[in-house]
Structure 1
């Protein structure tokens, strides 16, 4: 009964704390940490059996390593090799060396302990960094991809680090026959897992899939993950290594996506429980006894990691705004640091009090990072992005273009190619120097410049042109261009690309009537192909798509009047869905009635 009460308390704390944290833009991991601090021994004291919960929550890290391995298809890893091995390797090596030196010479710690601390503090929290970037849509840009590469190398580096950790216990290579026998046993088990996984996993999943029981498929996936992890642990290695190996073995399997879909809910919940256990285990009494010491160490950790990452990102050619984002989002300690410090205590290379203090520093850094990242995104990044670029903007040609294209990415290039084929003069403005250089290699003519500057639009011939095409990726920048063009160049007819319905409404607010939703037409075309494949006659396909398109356009216009009122917007969406359902039902009755009449 006591266990059930503990479970209820933990779930209630998670359900309350995580939505609150995400509501304020700080990410789920901070909510889990806060929940642990509140209900743990240092908080309300509602949960005291921290050790047993921490042991069970280690499965969250195991699941995370499995999913990381599942994503590491050899082809993808090969494409990312330069950023993963170069940037990621440099970050771990440089940060680990600097922190180890600070711990060894600065704090006077034994070198095995300093090495463990250096490597453990060099790791960042994948579970914290990725959601923070994803919530702001940063994973698709250069800084997001580079940050993911660094995290990926860190996740890979933990595997050999855990395997080599016993060597730091006494600082020497094992000499006894028993030690070498243990090494041989571990090697045999690893080889056995690799061979067995190579030849047995597909037949197993194939047999379970034929049984037609989804719950058994999920149970099989869990069995393989946890079973491999336990088997590797029995051989004297880390459970995380076993889970990672299982994921890599399944990465090229046809069952990879289904296994991932089955495992991810367990991974999310268990990893959340892991962060809760970290919050509960935080040595708050030690923090209260020595607040200056621990807060100072956490600040030093954040500053050292951020500075190293900032320098490496700039060396790699990342712009200042992206480099600052990477430096901030990767500045905290990570979940694998907790794992490494715990194993170091078991292996004798670190004392229990030292590990507890290191974990408290990591926890403080994790608590601080969401606030720092939010501050950087709000105040620093916009200033860095609006700063005058080092490369001067290109001189605009004086050839009186009829069309000006703002943004020469995927959409702008298609417009430009067609205009060029028809002999219609245009000027394309692109604010990414790399993109300008890239398209020029293939014969396209684009000019480096910021279309949100009215003087640049004027230099590009906006006063004499007749059409302005706004095809920028960034929604705020596209709206800024529209505002400038409407105010200063009323002679222009504006055609705008919209990323989503919200973008459409903002463009309509600014008087734009020629709007194209970038995925709408392609989605309609795809749907038509699906309907044809399902056997619908061509006339019915066309009628269905025309009905849907017309209804969606009407709904979009109606919702524009209430798009700032979320309650009314939701209600109009529901009304529109009911209306569309009624239209299709009436259409179906007309078709059936016509067929009966012909019969």
Structure 2
């Protein structure tokens, strides 16, 4: 390919991705579906902008290699050890039951058990790339869906190498390979080579990376990582396996290295683009000719796989006690076939375990399931989850409050938990009200007595005996909800002291204007403390730092209260801000003069003497 043609192809890739992914994202369909359609549009079965099948396959292989290296890099051995039970239980259940059901369905069609085992194992795998992309876009990794699904994906990733080693053993009674190599020898060679490469690389790489890191050239460090990926991939390819397996092993080898985080930071900026490149490659390899030749069989098989895996995952969601409203999304997220299936089916075809035509059809089926997943997620968002959540909320009653307290704490997130712990240490057990059932379950595991209640739907204030309380503390992170709660409390219990959290300065002005006397801004005091620590390390004296911080806080509060009084007059607000800044500077100048007269030195040049 000439240079002009290469640049033109790159322009086509980037242009189609930017346009289609942006459109699909704005429509709420997610970026993954946009990448897939971009690949379909520019590929040989679309507009034909990229019509060289060989280049398309190489591009797809490169995308998978880089993707699997990143996945392998995440599999730190110590992390896997800590998660061994969820990985084994959740992943083993999903993988085992899916393989049995899919394999049994294939055998009912009169296909041999060897092919059924290979196909069942490959189709039981989910797309790590697609699932994690959607999970990251929705910030679900730390939610119950992510905490349950991630171990499943890890188990599947760990199972790929054993499946690859198993395929040569099952190929003996299948289609005769063109080569006369004994499948047992091939399988043992693969296992032995994998172990040997791991041991040699594990002990040698640290010295190599240390030498390269000493050059302090980041680009050479990144180049070494790419060299390792391509080198191990080439070795595994020479042994008869896929290039992708070598990339995966490279990631696993480096997962426990002291240079792991440096590698992640170097590669991280390209991660999203590489994942997009992989999905474009999947779309480009969508063989519409094969689909049109056997439409009914292929589409039926794709829906059948989705149904079987969705059912298995829904049972797992029930067993792990996921919330009813989250079970459909969890089931859809991991129901598709995965990128590892492409590797497995291609290897099975080259080793003689599968007919090439059957392998191509299975790859097409997996591609269809991957394309259906974003649509199922959108369907869940717009139709299924709202109905589940509405039914759950209708059936959810407020918890019965079984004790009284002088303090009512509304919200038990990051702010509420700190306040709750401080009260507990001082012998005060507040009544904690939270409206997120999942969050309540999590904090109850650690012994915190938290009650479910929606301040705006239930008669919570009456139930907690708010009239007898000394104060109510509002720690919600939503300004509109906090303001609405203040109005509700003031109307029902005008004498009850309200202490409220403000998201920012404007929200604080709103709360003071509503006659809330005690307001704490989210980041104000933490920023002041951080500034004091910085000044301390720069050598300023403690007395100077304290005087400066106190003056700053005092002036800022005065300015804030003047802004409350003049909140509707823009010119007056600007005047208040400028006047407060001048006062602060004058105060700090006086502090410097006072300290110089006492110490005869600039406080910025006199470090604090340790005790």
**Shared fold per TM-score greater than 0.5:** yes
1:49 is the counterpart of 2:52: yes
Residue 283 of structure 1 deviates from its aligned partner by 1.9
Report the equivalent of 2:385.
381
Which deviates more, 162-171 or 302-311? 162-171
Residue in 2 that maps onto 1:166: 168
Structure 1 residues 480, 244: CA separation in 2 closer, same or farther (over 3 Å shift)? farther
| Equivalent position to 2:37, from 23, 34, 37 | 34
**C-alpha distance in 2 between matches for 1:451 and 1:552:** 30
| Counterpart for residue 98 of structure 1 | 101
State which of 141, 149, 158 in structure 1 corresponds to 2:151: 149
CA distance in 2, matches of 1:176, 1:287: 33
Q: How far does the alpha carbon of each residue in 1:115-135 deviate from its partner, in whole angstroms, 9 at most, with x for none?
A: 233222222222111221222
- CA offset digits 1:92-129 (Å, max 9, x no partner): 11112111212221x33333333233222222222111
Give 2:357's match in structure 1, choosing from 353, 357, 370: 353
State yes or no: 1:316 paired with 2:320. yes
2:285 matches 1:281: yes
Measure how far apart 1:165 and its partner are. 1.8
Asked whether 1:19 is paired with 2:41, we answer: no
Structure 1 stretch displaced more, 155-164 or 166-175: 166-175
Find out whether 1:404 has 2:418 as its counterpart.
no
Q: 5+ residue gaps in structure 1?
A: 563-574
Q: Distance in 1 between matches of 2:250 and 2:239?
A: 15
CA offset at residue 466 of structure 1? 4.9
Which residue is equivalent to 1:123? 125
Q: Is the 8 A contact 2:505 2:521 kept in 1?
A: no
1:572 corresponding residue in structure 2: none
Q: Is the 8 A contact 2:98 2:309 kept in 1?
A: yes
CA contact (8 A) 1:122 1:333 kept: yes
Q: Does 1:5 align with 2:5?
A: no
**How far 1:258 moved relative to its partner?**
0.8
**Is the 8 Å Cα contact of residues 311 and 331 (structure 2) preserved in structure 1?**
yes
Q: 1:155-185: CA deviations, max 9, x gaps?
A: 1112211222222323489998865554554
- Check whether the contact 1:229–1:243 (CA below 8 A) recurs between aligned residues: yes
Q: Give the gaps of 5 or more residues in structure 2.
A: 568-573, 603-611
Distance 2:46 2:13 in 1: 13
Paired with 2:515 and 2:304, the residues of 1 have a C-alpha distance of 51
Larger displacement relative to structure 2 (195-204 or 108-117): 108-117
Q: Partners in 1 of 2:94 and 2:225 — Cα distance?
A: 34
1:531 Cα deviation after fit: 4.3
Q: Shift in Å at residue 35 of structure 1?
A: 0.6
Per-residue displacement from partner, 1:520-556 (whole Å, max 9, x unpaired)? Answer: 644653454344334455467564897699889989x
1:447 CA drift (Å) = 3.6
- Mark the CA change 1:202 to 1:313 in structure 2 (over 3 Å): closer, same or farther: same
- Larger radius of gyration, structure 1 or 2? 2
SS in 1 for 2:466: coil
Tell me how far apart the structure 1 counterparts of residues 381 and 555 of structure 2 sit (CA, whole Å). 40
Report what 2:63 is aligned to. Answer: 60
Distance 2:100 2:558 in 1: 59
TM-score normalized by the length of structure 2 = 0.80
CA distance in 1, matches of 2:386, 2:535: 46
Q: Is residue 232 of structure 1 aligned with residue 236 of structure 2?
A: yes
Alignment of 1:433-448 (within 5 A): 444-448=448-452
Report whether the alignment pairs 1:370 with 2:384: no
Change (3 A) 1:394 1:239: same
Per-residue deviation, 1:443: 6.5
- Whether the 8 Å contact between 2:212 and 2:221 is mirrored in structure 1 is yes
Deviation at 1:279, TM superposition (A): 0.8
Separation of aligned partners in 2, 1:506 and 1:375: 41
Instruction: Provide closer, same or farther for how the CA distance between residues 462 and 510 of structure 1 changes in structure 2, counting only shifts above 3 A.
Output: farther
Q: TM-score normalized by structure 1?
A: 0.81
One of 243, 250, 254 as aligned partner of 1:250: 254
CA apart distance, 1:484: 5.5
**Distance change in 2, residues 1:242/1:8 (3 Å):** same
Alpha-carbon offset, residue 66 of structure 1: 2.1
| 1:168 to 1:440, Cα distance in 2 relative to 1, 3 A | closer
CA distance in 2, matches of 1:550, 1:22: 45
Closer/same/farther in 2, CA of residues 193 and 503 from structure 1, 3 Å limit: farther
- 1:418 paired to 2:415: no
Match of 1:77 in 2: 80
Compared with structure 1, are the counterparts of its residues 522 and 502 closer, same or farther at alpha carbon in structure 2 (3 Å cutoff)?
closer
**Count of matched residue positions in the alignment of Structure 1 and Structure 2:** 578
Contact 2:169 2:187 in 1 (8 A): no
Spell out, residue by residue over 1:319-355, the C-alpha distance to the aligned partner (whole angstroms, 9 max, x if none): 2123222112112222222222222221222233323
Match of 2:226 among 222, 229, 249: 222
RMSD, matched Cα: 4.4
The Cα offsets for residues 351-394 of structure 1, whole Å up to 9 and x where unpaired, read as 33323322332222222222321332344334434515989754
Rate the CA distance shift 1:247–1:357 in 2: closer, same or farther, 3 A.
same
